[in-house]
Amino acid sequence: MNLNIAVIPGDGIGPEVTEQALKVTKAIASKFGHELNYLNALMGACAIDATGNPYPPETHEICMNSQAVLFGAIGDPKYDNDPSAKVRPEQGLLEMRQKLGLYANIRPTITFKPLISKSPLKEELVDGADFVAIRELTGGIYFGEPRGRSENGEKAFDTCVYTREEIHRIAKLAFEYAQRRRKKLTAVDKANILATSRLWRETIKAMAPDYPDVELEFLFVDAAAMRIIQWPKGFDVIVTENLFGDILTDEASVITGSMGMSPSASIGLHTSVFEPIHGSYPQAAGKNIANPCATILSAAMMFEYAFKLQDEAALIKEAVDQSLENGIVTEDIAGKDKAYSTSEVGDWIVNYIQNK
């Protein structure tokens, strides 16, 4: 099978972790007899520095011509610390989501046995937690108009907008996902306050009869945030809007013991993007200490969702599990034990795949 992907390393630790995920992708392609073709592309602060555009047209063309995009991270302190900057790396991310139609972000929260002691939650709460959050990605307050500031700069405003079509599209994906898992769907909103949330609840309730095998519940976002901490094992599939999903999925990532273990997939109309949920972590850039596992697991999601190659995805996940079991981990996990470098972890996982 021909596998055509775009590779966007991005900023900070993005190039380092993406390099390891690409090594793993090459190893899997070789082992299973696939032909891998890939092109590198610029995005984020590095793209601004090179072209003045955080998402250059050349990058968009490469993405549109690819079956999947393997993405690292974007962000740089020189833009974060400059509130007057008119062009920012994050603008490239939002533009990519819009132009590729990346309407759904899928973030699994899975606990790994060797990392349970690293979780801020008690072991009995987190052991066995396994749920997926499906976040709407191209609507809501991040994209709504109008937005801006008053002429005197004393007032700012953002607008949250959703259409029934946008809600139906993401909810359909969530219902179908729940059917493939434990058949429970939690819809998160703030319907007691927000008009957009009431449209979410109304639309999803109307869809429920089409999925009689799925147990549907609704939670206000504040209650959902509490339950993720109090009873994470009570969730199976969560569906929610853009802003709520952004916050809740970052909260959920911490309970597993390391944000460096959390992958994601952004499902699109034209192609799909696979990326770790951590940021660019510029303090660690170039030090070869960042955890590459979230990006490697994102590559596993790429094989699973973009290419429908379940065995290939399963072997990557197995290799990551075994690296944890054998203590081949970076400093964010190692604690007092030996810490391995980013590239050493990647090399170990590649070697496991080659010798399996």
Checking phi first, is residue 204 left (phi over 0); if not, alpha (psi -120 to 50) or beta?
alpha
Q: Which of 38, 103, 142, 281 is catalytic?
A: 142
**Cα-based angle 284, 263, 286 (whole degrees, multiple of 5):** 15
- Is residue 210 annotated as a catalytic residue, yes or no? no
> 142 is written with which tokens?
């991040």
Q: Are 132 and 107 in contact (CB under 8 A)?
A: yes
Nearest in space to 54 (alpha carbons), one of 17, 5, 98: 98
| Paired strand residues for 238 | 133, 186
> 63 is written with which tokens?
């993405």
- Is residue 222 annotated as a catalytic residue, yes or no? yes
Q: Are 185 and 215 in contact (CB under 8 A)?
A: yes
Q: Which of 190, 236, 332, 352 is catalytic?
A: 190
122: CB partners within 8 A, 6+ apart: none
Class of residue 66 by CB neighbours under 10 A (exposed 0-12, middle 13-18, buried 19+): buried
Residue 224 host element (H or E): helix 221-230
Q: Which of 222, 287, 308, 337 is catalytic?
A: 222
> 247 is written with which tokens?
């916050």
- Is residue 190 annotated as a catalytic residue, yes or no? yes
Residue position matching structure tokens 């890939």: 38
Q: For residue 281, give the DSSP letter.
A: -
Instruction: Determine the 3-state secondary structure of 81 from DSSP.
Output: coil
- Is residue 250 annotated as a catalytic residue, yes or no? yes
- Is residue 142 annotated as a catalytic residue, yes or no? yes
Q: Which of 246, 281, 340, 352 is catalytic?
A: 246
Q: Are 215 and 183 in contact (CB under 8 A)?
A: yes
Q: Are 316 and 300 in contact (CB under 8 A)?
A: yes
Give the integer Cα–Cα distance in Å for 95 and 92: 5
User: Any idea which residues carry the catalytic annotation?
Assistant: 142, 190, 222, 246, 250
